[in-house]
Amino acid sequence: MSYEINIMNLKLSALICFLSIIPVTGGVSPAAADEVPDPEPFPPVPSPAQLKWHKAEYMMFVHFGMKTFYPSSNHMGNGKEDPGKFNPKHYDANQWVEAAKEGGFKGIVLTTKHHDGFCNWPTGTTDHCVRSSTWKGGKGDIVGELVKACRKGGISFGFYVSIIDHNFNATGSEKYETYGEFYYDQLKELSTQYGPIDEYWFDGFRADKLKMDYRKIAELIKTAQPDAVVYDSGTLVKYLPDRSLRWPNNHGGVGPDQNYRVNQDDKLIWYPNEPSLILQGNWFYCGKPMHDLEKIKNYYLQSTGHGVTPLMNVSPNKDGLIDKDSVGKLKEFKKWVDEIHSGDLARGKKVAITADSVRGNHAKFAADKVADGDFETYHATDDGVTTTTIEVNLGEKKEVDGFILQEYIPLGQRVESYAIECMVNGKWVEVFTGKRIGYKRIILEGRVTAKKARFPATYKVRLKIRSSLACPLISTFQVAGKISGDGK
């Protein structure tokens, strides 16, 4: 009997020793992950197409067509331009793609047809297209070559297809009785002849005055391109509520605190803004150089920095190339964007990150997830807990230039109010406040997203989520060190 007891005591001692050496990180439990369920989605949530759009962060818009060869301050055209003048002798789609990649763009959206009605592909709907041009003896296809180059370069591709068509208005068509039929067939060609499309961009200018069968167009997109996101200008959201992007009422940046949760036809849907920004002269190339770098930086901060994905327009010249000056500025721009996102002080060796509330007291949702560089991991609280404080002890006093915040939006937009505080002379000092965070919020001292903010040198910072519609999910709380050469 005593022998059996001694054996039991030995086993119990071994178990105690084993348990004592299991690591516990940040005071949270090492229990199996499935013991603490992930938060439930807080609808509406982005569709896969919309989430891919968010993660692109900024895209290249390319206006290229007949107006490139009729440069003026009027980008509209009149539809009476001579297709014979369209002759981009050195057109190189691969050069466009390389320029886009050097600027950090994840994709290109091309004007396949602008308001003048000239088609950048050999359409069967009209002779007002590349078939009637002198370029490549009428055998070329701007769209086809660019699609091929984008796929080769590993970036996405989108179609701008103007709803307005001045050439059709001026000449009509022997083949089509209505413009709606004509336009639908153009969309059908683009939707079925070039493989997968990542985005459709429908210009909303006077779209409400055209008698178009938008339901039929929506069904075409659903069938032919089920994974495409659609900038709809208010024309298609009724029929494609799960993938639409909306017009922000201006060609420029958007304001802070972007709300993706929009009531449309008495239904709450995910409907973010997509700004479109001119980086060079007019929409089409007209000999003017690209804007100075500071203006481009501000455009980025007023769009990507406010949680949306802008289209930033670059205009190829008559040769069919993006000029060297533009490419050089795009490289400088990407270098600056990369610098903003590098050097996170919250990822230093001496850093300790804690939170006053952790979901299930589990390491999977611990505070340090905000500084692991992985968007797919996040700090979370228990259900019903709609506030949290994440504190970052930097280990030593550091110069701070700003912050980058991200919510884990695949499960919805939640945060309604937050503040950032720095420890100064032993006291917490509030240095910034905001409402919504969304996919990304970039807060840089003295710049357009935080013009009046001043961030003191400090060894401790904290993010306070003051209110949230559901348990907050914070993917990123980056503490940016001083950014070299960042003119304010």
Among 150-154, 452-456, 464-468, the range scoring the smallest mean pLDDT is 452-456
- Tokens read off for 333: 């721009």
Give the model's pLDDT for residue 38: 97
Q: Where in the chain is the domain with CATH 2.60.120.260?
A: 344-480
- Tens digit of pLDDT for each residue in 127-148? 999 999 999 999 999 999 999 9
d(CA 106, CA 127): 33
Q: What percent of the chain has pLDDT over 90?
A: 82
Please, which pLDDT band fits residue 484 given cuts at 50, 70 and 90?
low
- Tens digit of pLDDT for each residue in 380-414? 999 999 999 999 999 999 999 999 999 999 999 99
Q: Where in the chain is the domain with CATH 3.20.20.80?
A: 48-341
Q: Hey, CA dihedral for 18, 20, 24, 29, is it positive or negative?
A: positive
Whose tokens are 């559901």? That residue is: 470
d(CA 317, CA 314): 10
Higher pLDDT, 452 or 437: 437
Give the model's pLDDT for residue 7: 38
Give the model's pLDDT for residue 436: 98
Give the model's pLDDT for residue 19: 36
**pLDDT of 323 above 50:** yes
Answer whether CATH 2.60.40.10 is correct for domain 344-480: no
Whose tokens are 């009724």? That residue is: 238
Q: Using an 8 Å Cβ cutoff, are 362 and 377 in contact?
A: no
Instruction: Say if pTM beats, i.e. exceeds, 0.85.
Output: yes
Give the other-Cβ count within 10 Å of 485's Cβ: 9
Give the CB-side neighbour count of residue 311, counting CA atoms within 13 A.
29
Please, which pLDDT band fits residue 31 given cuts at 50, 70 and 90?
low
Tell which residue, 7, 484, 440, has the closest CA to residue 254. Answer: 440
Q: Using an 8 Å Cβ cutoff, are 182 and 173 in contact?
A: yes
**pLDDT of 73 above 90:** no
Give the model's pLDDT for residue 482: 79
Give the model's pLDDT for residue 67: 95
**pLDDT of 10 above 50:** no
Please, which pLDDT band fits residue 29 given cuts at 50, 70 and 90?
low
- For domain 48-341, give its CATH number from 2.60.40.1180, 3.30.360.10, 3.20.20.80, 3.40.109.10: 3.20.20.80
- Tens digit of pLDDT for each residue in 175-233? 999 999 999 999 999 999 999 999 999 986 656 666 789 999 999 999 999 999 999 98
Q: What percent of the chain has pLDDT over 70?
A: 91
